[in-house]
Structure 1
Amino acid sequence: MDPEKEKERKRLIALTSLNLLNTPKEERFEIITRLASKIFAVPVAGISLVDAQKVWFKSIQGLDHLTEDRSTSFSNAVVLKEEMVIIEDTLQNEEFKSNPYVTDGPKIRFFAGVPIRASDLSVVGSLFLADRLPRKFSDLEVSTLKDLSTWVDVEFLRSSLTYQISLEQKKIQEELVSKNRELAEEKAMDDAMLANIGDGVVGINDRGEIIFTNQQVEYMTGLKQDELIGKPIWYSIKMFDKDDKEVSVNERPIRNALFLKKKIESTNYFFVRRDGSKFPVSITATPVIVFDRVIGGVDVFRDITKEKEIDRMKTEFISLASHQLRTPLSAMKWFCEILLDRDAGDLNKEQEELLTNIYQSNERMIQLVNTLLNISRIESGRIIIDPKPTDLRKLLDEVILEVRPRFDKKKQHLAISIHKNLPLVNIDPRLIRHVYMNLLTNAIKYTPDGGEIVIIISVKNGEVVSQVSDSGYGIPRRQHEQVFKKFFRAENVIKIETEGTGLGLYLTKAIVESSGGRIWFESDEGKGTTFWFAVPLSGSVQKEGEVTIDI
């Protein structure tokens, strides 16, 4: 584009941004032109705005017209030259002596105009003086006119800013209306979703005060929304654990979710209805985090009475089926042992191999049946917990002795560190032995040949903490939440190790928690896994059940 045309284009944009073209008179400009007329003793003083075709007079003294053609305007010369223009006698000036404003009409003989600039310094018009007589214009008058033009510049800048602010306000207002409409639509959708979702939903602020609930909360608990809003969730919706003990504020899943800044799921709690009756719930407590600050949380819960009943029926069925399977499996084992011991006659090599495969498969079936029976006994609350003062060092040594051949076969290195003054702990050694056995056999199974396994037993914060670390395949992070679920096996080890039921860790967790302890882990795929389980130094609580677990 031609540089002059581009310059003119930008000048006209700056002029438009003032929002002064073809607008009514304003006293702030009238004051300036009246003052100019008096100071310089001239009949004509004005403020002009020069657009593409016309010159507009924002204020003018001594003339009654509001516009003129740009091509014949004195102000156009100021704009084109971008500097002060002084013509002391127009009849002696070659450019203007034939101008219609000189020869006709006002018959201007003297003109002085100073540029008026927009905020980008484009010349958009002039502050000018005119007289019907020729006159000299002194240096002092030049300086005074320039000073007055600064005043006009300031007023123009103010107009520009005011116009820009009004545009921004209009834009913000439009955006606000649009956002409010979007929010209203989203709220309507959210309200409809909350109203129709089958789960109870309770939202709280960072102080634990309830800020919203949905209809299902009232349906499940009998507590109305207006009874709950603004009140602490800890005291408004009562919660009990599986041992029928009221859950304290610090033990509630939503409290821990806010504190730990992570989602917590649980199916081990009961809510209380208005009439005092309890029902089991599946809870998902999620913190709401904005810029790394917890601003509240959401409790989503579901009545799992039917699921619990189905689980109970499944447990009973599994228990019954497992009992029924034990007899024929035990008989098969006995018959295989008789045949392999050649008590029924000699075997050739092929017969021996077939019987060995049958025997090994039968052993795996017996192990699976025992595991299923153990799970059903724990889930039904029939397990006996018989705590005794136990030397965990000695108990661990017994387990290591049993699994030592597996270590040696894979040439794995075992490192052990046990608290120097480890006290006797009142636990059920049969149960805790199973926990050590499961964690160690898993570590051996999922650690490659030549890898390292570390066992540490320490005393911390009133607990005896046992740690089993391996340098194996690790567990994919996306599957961490499933580790303690029934039948779970990590996708990366299924391809490598085909054997396994996915019940070992589920049973281990159930045993630890039944013993009054807790279990957790950390794992990175390709780097290994560490499991910890902790039991209180004070020991486990004795439980008068019906059966023990089968190891």
Structure 2
Amino acid sequence: MSWFEENKQILIALLHGVMVFILLFVGLVIFTIQYDFTDVNMAVLAFILATTCIVFFAKSVYEIHASTTREKKLAEEMAEKYIKSSEQLFLEVYNNSPVAYLIVGKLGDIISANTAAARLFGVSADKLVKRDLFALMNAGGEEHQSILKQKFQTGIVVSDEEVKVIRSNSFSWTKLSIFQFSNADGKRLSLVTLVDVTKQKEIEIAKSEFVSLASHQLRTPISGMRWSAELLLMDGVESLSKQQKRYVDRLLSSIQRMSSLVDDFLQVSRFELGTRILKEETVVLKELFDDIIAEQDAKVTLNRLKIYKEYDPSVVKIQSDMALLRMVVTNLYTNAVKYSRIGGEISVGYMRQGGDLVITVKDSGMGIPVAEQQRVFSKIFRASNAIKEVPDGTGLGLYIVQKAVQTLEGRVSFVSTENIGTTFTVVIPI
């Protein structure tokens, strides 16, 4: 607020006083001209007028000051009442919220905890005070724990990080969020929220276990169906009619798709359950890539596709997980073949880049719509143009690629333009 706005009322009162003085003085002069007041002491009269104006001005200033003081006091009382009411409301919400809340100092020391937090940690709220927040939880590995601490110390917002809250003889799965703020004294504090997601986690694990079990159980009957169909085709070469052979071929094709679907579900469940462990071995890259490319020769020939191999001759062997590498390259190459149009081109290759192996699979296929690219690695997702042109598909291939690459401690990215093509790049440390 400016000085003028603060003293506006006083200035108005002063102006009124000056105007009253001028009017009285002018009136007195006019009156003196009209009548003869030679015996009147004009100085005394002017003094009386000035005194009257000063008294008027002083009275106005006093009333204004008194009114302003009352208003200011009333505003302060209302503000204080509002602050107390807000503080009381905050404390009630903080203490009675079903979500676990903690106020934490800049070193990670717990300053206060609400009832839900005490219940989550299995101790009274006062026993949580002064304890190290990060010593009471497990972020799933030392590296993740260290990154979480660094985010906290540097002031980076932490949102929905999955951590385990450790109790004396058990733990709970939670979503951790940390928001930093400064109190009235300028001291840096953090509000920590912990949302218990143990039940949701248990449901996810149960679902993954069910899928894994079902996939294992389905493998045996599917294998039996395939063998029976193959035997029927082999033994009935002469006895089966052309139409009957066509039916058996369709049956074998359907069994193969079902087998691939079961394998995909099994791989997904292993990744989600965390049962997929790295098994390093010597991998001869050229042999691996040639083998994967050969598996799709029939479709490549049928669609008249041109395949270009771009192998780095300086990279012959690496130590890695053969099965995971095969999984990554197979899914990317199979997609390239599946979604390339007749007469299209596909480039497959690898090269060394510093301490990394860079794998690229490039096609001239239908591409991925821009609006859908952020969902490419989501589970059971297929682009709208892919569904339209190639109805068959599980939507699990790229999800499996991402999980496999993460298990290999690598990263995967892509560049795609609709109706022009897509290039996938996988970078794996070697």
Category of TM-score, reference length = shorter chain: 0.5 to 0.7
Which AA in structure 2 matches 1:192?
N
Residues 1:157 and 1:265: Cα distance change in structure 2 (over 3 Å):
same
Q: Is the 8 A contact 1:521 1:529 kept in 2?
A: no
Q: For the residues of structure 2 that align with 1:358 and 1:111, how far apart are their CA atoms?
A: 126
The number of equivalent residue pairs is 410
Query: Are 2:346 and 2:361, in contact at CA under 8 Å, matched by a contact in 1?
Result: no
Q: Decide whether the 8 Å contact of 2:101 with 2:193 is kept in 1.
A: yes
- Greater Cα radius of gyration, structure 1 or 2: 1
- CA separation of 1:216 and 1:160: change in aligned 2, threshold 3 A: closer
1:114-513 correspondence to structure 2 within 5 Å: 129-130=47-48, 171=75, 174-175=78-79, 177-193=81-97, 196-197=98-99, 200-202=100-102, 204=104, 207-234=107-134, 236-239=135-138, 241=140, 249-252=145-148, 255=151, 261=157, 263-266=159-162, 270-274=164-168, 277-279=169-171, 281-287=173-179, 296=190, 298-302=192-196, 304=198, 314-340=207-233, 342-343=236-237, 345-349=239-243, 351-376=244-269, 385-392=278-285, 394-403=287-296, 421-422=314-315, 424-442=317-335, 457-459=351-353, 462-466=355-359, 471-474=367-370, 476=372, 479=375, 483-484=377-378, 487-489=379-381, 492=384, 496=388, 498-513=391-406
1:528-549 per-residue CA deviation (whole Å, 9 max, x = no partner) reads: 8876655443xxxxxxxxxxxx
Change in Cα spacing, 1:218 to 1:297, as seen in structure 2 (3 Å) is closer
Q: Distance in 1 between matches of 2:152 and 2:425?
A: 20
Work out the CA distance in 2 between the residues paired with 1:339 and 1:183: 80
Distance 2:219 2:146 in 1: 45
Gaps of 5+ in 2: 183-187
Structure 2 counterpart of 1:472, which letter?
Answer: I
In structure 2, C-alpha distance between the alignment counterparts of 1:505 and 1:477, rounded to whole Å? 12
2:22 paired residue number: 78
491 and 375 in structure 1: CA distance in 2 versus 1, 3 angstrom threshold: closer
Query: Residues 89 and 109 of structure 1 are in contact (CA less than 8 Å); yes or no, is this contact kept in structure 2?
Result: no
**What's the counterpart of residue 185 of structure 2?**
none
Pairwise CA distance, 1:237: 0.9
* Percent identity for Structure 1 against Structure 2: 21
Instruction: Report the alpha carbon displacement of residue 439 of structure 1 after superposing the two structures with TM.
Output: 3.2
- Between stretches 445-454 and 469-478, larger displacement belongs to 445-454
Residue 345 of structure 1 and its aligned partner are, at CA, apart by 1.8
Residue type of the partner of 2:85?
A: R
More helix by share: 2
Structure 1 gap segments, 5+ residues each = 1-12, 22-46, 51-56, 58-74, 114-127, 132-144, 538-551
CA RMSD of aligned residues (A): 5.5
Question: Deviations 1:477-526 (Å, cap 9, x if unpaired)?
Answer: 7758xx45xx43157467535433243344444444544x2445578996
Match of 2:10 in 1: 18
Amino acid at match of 1:302: D
Relative distance call for 1:337 and 1:219 in structure 2 (3 A) is same
Q: Distance in 2 between matches of 1:164 and 1:407?
A: 89
CA contact (8 A) 2:310 2:347 kept: no
Q: In structure 2, do the counterparts of structure 1 residues 217 and 419 end up closer, same or farther at CA, with 3 Å as the change threshold? A: farther
